[in-house]
Structure 1
């Protein structure tokens, strides 16, 4: 164990990864490919490493989206651009985003290249058994440009953690909606935002709440019970533990160095105003948490 650094690293790489969803340059690239609206671009950009798989596969991997949200975007997206074209476009877009946001001097620096190499090494060391999104991202070729190399390495690590989180949720008997209701009840995300963006009906949300109350995890007013708080904490602790492998492989000293290098980048993203309010990913620091 790299001194339990999995959560600290996640808090730093998640904002950088999230540029792919919210930076206007990425949306422009997606539109140029023919993607029709935000959600078609979102699913195409994130699912492209999997190839042109059926919507059911993406629904399973992404876990919290209603199948109808996915099928509105896929497989139609692949009629406008192939996964290979989408992967190339997202590299170009992220290079433009990171160069513009962090500045050419920063992305051209030795420290930035060091961060890219450390992230890539940690991602390459990730155990992807049972982690489909992580495996698909890990299998991509190593980019030459430090911007693309850093973003892709962090994205592999992010999907590795996400796959681990899904495995923990399944093990805890928490389906997609129950998981979101529990997260909202813990105050980590805005419940209405999660329900609406993931395209679940209010009746689905209420039914999940009923199931959680029957398990003794929610009170009548929707707050966490003591047992619910224990389950929520256990989900996070197990996720952290399952995401620790890359940092154990990288070692404590170099993991701490990567965290140090990522800190100003994360702060820049968090201060940029690009991240939406509502904290859909449940970060506990930065502009998501502050409701920017």
Structure 2
């Protein structure tokens, strides 16, 4: 039941977190800091809680990106803006994006405050041992505006889940490109979008497919075999299991209440067409409307 809650909550909080990638307010914030292009802004906005780290650290934490893609953005981004300034701009951008999408009455409502406080409790309860992105986000100060507080709490929970997913992939011997091949083969995301966005070439992709075929997880047509379906299901199940801690601490009743409060937010983001076609984040639903 708890691991089911872990996945159900991810389906709700992932769209809210994704505003930092796809909302125009985030791009304007990055541009205003002097960042050069979408990807420099992406890496700076997401990596800022870690401090002014070099590219190899971010490559390791983010896992699926070609090291060259990261190195084109970092550490150069920190010459344009210090991580603390990036964090301030990120918080303001998320406040503005949520106000525009949900409306001022929603972001100032008691429901928003309740959701923010419940999510913050869950985020505080997250065990960040071995989870660098979650730990870095969890250590940030509590934002005063409710919507910014909600976004930051959900981001901590998202990175907590992501760190656990990376550890699970490593434990199962699934390398970065192979992880994306599996996601595409499962029909969660568009293969070309994943490959091009993470800056891997066709040779890298073909090599990962070959490795998965030799492992017995892909057939000659690139579809998952029964062994591949089972292997991927095991990875997803373990990812859910190691993400259960915050929801166990929050409790079934409060977790269900937070899900109820997040439902209309996730649906509003989905209905806004803000998430790009091809679904690079792999969300299969967005609240009750998903």
TM-score relative to the length of structure 1: 0.97
Partner of 2:227: 227
Partner of 1:138: 138
Structure 1: gaps of 5 or more residues: none
The number of residue pairs the alignment matches comes to 289
Partner of 2:72: 72
Give the Cα–Cα distance (whole angstroms) in 2 for the partners of residues 130 and 286 of structure 1: 29
Give the Cα–Cα distance (whole angstroms) in 1 for the partners of residues 118 and 238 of structure 2: 24
- The 5-angstrom pairing of residues 85-234 of structure 1 reads 85-234=85-234
Say whether residues 1:57 and 2:60 are aligned partners.
no
Partner of 1:20: 20
Partner of 1:32: 32
Partner of 2:81: 81
Contact preservation (8 Å) 1:2, 1:255: no
Contact preservation (8 Å) 1:2, 1:251: no
Give the Cα–Cα distance (whole angstroms) in 2 for the partners of residues 111 and 131 of structure 1: 30
Deviations 1:62-120 (A, max 9, x none): 00000000000000000000000000000000000001110010010001100000001
Contact preservation (8 Å) 1:64, 1:177: yes
Secondary structure class of the residue paired with 2:4? coil
Deviations 1:121-163 (A, max 9, x none): 1000000000000000000011111011000000000000000
Give the Cα–Cα distance (whole angstroms) in 1 for the partners of residues 36 and 128 of structure 2: 32
CA-CA distance at 1:260 after TM superposition: 0.3
Give the Cα–Cα distance (whole angstroms) in 2 for the partners of residues 286 and 7 of structure 1: 12
Give the Cα–Cα distance (whole angstroms) in 2 for the partners of residues 163 and 2 of structure 1: 19
Give the Cα–Cα distance (whole angstroms) in 2 for the partners of residues 277 and 237 of structure 1: 26
CA spacing shift, 1:254–1:3, aligned 2, 3 Å: farther
Secondary structure class of the residue paired with 2:173? coil
CA-CA distance at 1:212 after TM superposition: 0.4
Give the Cα–Cα distance (whole angstroms) in 2 for the partners of residues 100 and 280 of structure 1: 23
Give the Cα–Cα distance (whole angstroms) in 2 for the partners of residues 178 and 69 of structure 1: 18
Q: CA RMSD in A?
A: 1.3
Structure 2: gaps of 5 or more residues: none
Secondary structure class of the residue paired with 2:270? helix
Contact preservation (8 Å) 2:7, 2:240: yes
